[in-house]
Chains A and B, each alone.
Chain A
């Protein structure tokens, strides 16, 4: 079925907000993961990793966002001094972990393109950019070493582009062109935006619309995307949170409602 539009933000009687669908979609990125380090940038990904850890991915290893692994599952914005730590994870060990492959990551993307290249380096020509962003950071190494997904809280033709300006995170076509050492551990698992969920499960690894969040139409998604998405004949809706998941999100993981500041209800 094609999802009908039913107003922005929430899906009618359930009262589930868009941000909550995004958090659940991010949690799904970690389904099936065993004992790997979950790294998650942005509010919905941070909630998703914690939600997965509390429900269907109990062996996930969470970080404190600084230099340690945490034993518990803290709420967003919790006082770091109160966290129960289980291991030391300074940056040098983060690289060891990245290169060992025992990590699953959701990064942000200023731009993402049809074959999964991501850009956080610069807008325009790299040599003299129109806008200098943060830099490639660890994106090149992450993407060729372990599963990587992306979170784009503001889906638009400016963020979903035909070709990113600077390939920071490596997509499928670029990895294939670089050869077997680049493809050996490469996986771009998902892209989650405020409008829907995307993957690369197509013959040529072109980005596919996997689901639309309830309240979003397929047309809204394709119009906000700067390239031809693969759109299957029947696009499902992003799944509903279970009552347990909603309870965890609202009362345990994000009692202050930070999720609704990132994606407005």
Chain B
């Protein structure tokens, strides 16, 4: 049976400039960030990114990798907007297709099912229909005659998703409460890649979680990469929550060119192993700073 294990570099080697790439997760939750960071280090460019957007979109925009973003929102959850995506939109640096988030789901579902569109009420009357002049409506062929939005299939050249556990044959296990739409990103794509916190032998799946956590079948995957902490700084429960302190530093650094160069040099110009080490060091430094501030305010503060 096929062994689908890859390295991050091998995964990125399967991608090419100009591709339409779907990225799983939702907002700042269970994003395949290690794969995104690997793209940042590559010479890939001119990508169309299809995402329930979070810092994946912001980072790719900041690195000049993106020609177009297809999204319903871009958010960091605990912080409403991503600073780099804001700049990209406000300076006209990227082309955009903004959809209702339910339309987005139907677009992935249509692509997965190999039909050209799926109908919905969502979008009718809104500016989604105005700012995307390519969108069409369809009239029900039945006696109701309802006119509905025909959400076009969102076909992807490649999809990247991050899961809690996977085996070498490419089955994935999502242990958090929401699988989001990761199976549909994979279903909509030509080339399908899963990154995982940890490889396990297939016979270990049952002890990790109930059957319904095994929601990514190997029918949906071409390659799988083990990358512990691979969703950092987004949430990857139950393995780890969002690193809120790091996310705040990401946002703060984005607002200042010098701080952003320093952030890039420390966290993004290095490989994944060095990234994880740098994150650990940053956490330790932050804890030391907090302790020092507490001590200072306790001893030197006004009565």
Contacts and interface: CB of A to CB of B under 8 A. Distances in A.
Interface of A: 66-68, 88, 90-92, 95, 98-99, 121-122, 126-141, 143-145, 166-170, 174-175, 177-182, 184-185
A90 B129 CA distance: 27
B178 A95 contact: no
Contacts of A139: 100, 126
Contacts of B72: 135-138
A92 B125 CA distance: 23
B90 A137 contact: no
B147 A140 contact: no
26 contacts: A91-B26, A91-B181, A92-B180, A99-B102, A121-B127, A127-B131, A128-B89, A130-B90, A132-B89, A134-B73, A135-B53, A136-B98, A136-B126, A136-B128, A137-B101, A140-B103, A140-B128, A141-B101, A141-B120, A144-B125, A169-B126, A174-B125, A174-B126, A178-B125, A181-B147, A182-B125
A129 B81 CA distance: 14
Given A132-B89, A138-B101, A182 B121 contact: yes
Given A128-B90, A132-B85, A134-B80, A170 B177 contact: no
A168 B91 CA distance: 22
Given A136-B73, A181-B147, A66 B124 contact: no
B250 interface: no
- Which 6 A-B residue pairs are closest in the complex by CB-CB distance? A141-B122, A135-B73, A178-B125, A140-B126, A67-B177, A170-B125
Interface centre among A121, A135, A167 (most CB of B within 10 A): A135
Interface centre among B90, B102, B103 (most CB of A within 10 A): B102
Contacts of A137: 72-73, 100-101
B75 A144 contact: no
A139 B129 CA distance: 13
A181 B128 CA distance: 16
B172 interface: no
B124 A179 contact: yes
B151 to A, nearest CB: 11
Contact of A92 (B81, B105, B123, B128): B105
Interface in B250-273: none
Interface of B: 26, 53, 71-75, 80-81, 85-86, 89-92, 98-103, 105, 120-131, 146-148, 177-181
Given A98-B102, A134-B75, A135-B72, A168 B121 contact: no
Given A132-B90, A134-B80, A141 B100 contact: yes
A180 B139 CA distance: 12
A180 B73 contact: no
Contact of A140 (B81, B89, B100, B178): B100
B120 A135 contact: no
Contacts of A166: 127, 131
A178 B89 CA distance: 28
Nearest to B140: A181
A46 to B, nearest CB: 16
Contacts of A67: 177-178
B235 to A, nearest CB: 10
Given A99-B102, A140-B100, A167-B125, A135 B74 contact: yes
Given A127-B131, A128-B89, A128-B90, A66 B177 contact: yes
A131 B90 contact: yes
A32 B227 CA distance: 51
A1 B129 CA distance: 44
A90 B126 contact: no
B52 to A, nearest CB: 8
B121 A90 contact: no
Nearest to B99: A136
Contacts of A143: 125-126
Contact of A145 (B71, B81, B121, B128): B121
Contacts of B147: 179-181
Contacts of A135: 53, 71-75, 98
Contacts of B124: 140, 144, 170, 175, 178-179, 181-182
A107 to B, nearest CB: 13
